[in-house]
Amino acid sequence: MSKTVEEKYMEGIMREENALVFARFNKLVNNLFSEKSEAQEEILALKSQINTLQKSIAEYKREIANLNEKLKKQDFLEKSKEIQKESVKIVANKAKKSTDSVEIKKTITELIQEIDACIALLNEE
């Protein structure tokens, strides 16, 4: 069976149309691969930024912890100085009231024990 001119013409048109559809499809696929590649690059850049931010946050947290520790130590030192001042006042008052050196030594020993107890309490905080 031989093909008619009309059938040959239709085959030619179909081949051309198929070629155009294939070219469009091929272009879309290439665009998708290109966009995928760009998206992957952007994701890598974002991951890098996230890592940098996480490192910065960790550093800030360490700095805050160090500052909090310094505040605690400073607080402890201030309380310790206050205790020492009060102890000196108490010893001075006791010394004025008592002329017996044995009693002064006993009072000083008691105060030192109280100071040690206060420092131990402060250390527990």
Transcribe 56-118 into DSSP letters. Answer: HHHHHHHHHHHHHHHHHHHHHHHHHHHHHHHHHHHHHHHHHH---HHHHHHHHHHHHHHHHHH
68/73 Cα distance (integer angstroms): 9
Q: Work out the widest C-alpha separation in the chain, in whole angstroms.
A: 143
At 23-56, the pLDDT tens digits run: 999 999 999 999 999 999 999 999 999 999 999 9
Structure tokens, 115: 């100071």
* pLDDT confidence tier of residue 64, bands split at 50, 70 and 90: very high
At 93-104, the pLDDT tens digits run: 766 665 567 777
Q: How many residues does the chain have?
A: 125
Nearest to 94 by CA among 102, 86, 104: 104
Side chain identity, residue 29: V
- Give the per-residue pLDDT at 78: 84
Whether pTM > 0.85 for this model: the answer is no
Structure tokens, 34: 């290109």
Q: Which residue has the tokens 């030619």?
A: 12
Which carries the bigger pLDDT value, residue 50 or residue 74? Answer: 50
- Give the per-residue pLDDT at 122: 72
How many other C-beta atoms lie within 10 A of the C-beta of residue 106? 13
